[in-house]
Amino acid sequence: MANTNETAYFDLHTTGIGYLNRIREVKPRGKGKPFLAVTVAALHGSSDQVEYTYIDCNVVGAEAEKLVRRCQQAVDAGKKVLVSFRIGDIWADSFTYEKGEKKGQPGASLKGRLLFIGWIKVNGELAYQAKPKPTDATTGTSTDESSADSAAA
């Protein structure tokens, strides 16, 4: 039996569809590398009374970053950029309002890591579709699912 020093992780992934907003390059104060950030207005609720939950995301991974950068011009032009997404490790960040009517009051925002974009529609027209992942012929699961199952075991 081989001994491995591999660390197991438990992933918390949220999937859905939503609109991209506020695509920006963030330059941290002090130390740290600049990173791409985006706010996703995730849709939920009844289709005739849609509600939105806003999630501020760091864009993680070369493919997701490339796709978000590709959408920058359309978002800046006010076009509706709808995506299917996978966001990882969502957490709440508390803060105190510094200006406006709510100055001095506590607030909270959702944050996460934008990991994957399945498709992109700009003003209703399909602009990108991810290629399907190969499946494991013996189990019928995708390679992501089978690796997650083995990590959880």
One-letter amino acid for residue 78 of the chain: G
Cβ pair 44, 53 in contact under 8 A: yes
Q: How far is CA 122 from the centre of its chain?
A: 18
Please report, in angstroms and rounded to a whole number, the separation of the first and last CA atoms in the chain.
17
Model pLDDT, residue 151: 39
Q: How many CA atoms lie within 13 A of 39 on its CB side?
A: 9
Predicted TM-score of the model (pTM)? 0.78
| pLDDT tens across the length of the chain (153 residues) | 556 678 888 888 999 999 999 999 999 888 888 999 999 999 999 999 999 999 999 999 999 999 999 999 999 999 999 999 999 999 999 999 999 999 999 999 999 999 999 999 999 999 999 988 776 555 454 444 433 343 333
Element holding 131 (H helix, E strand)? none
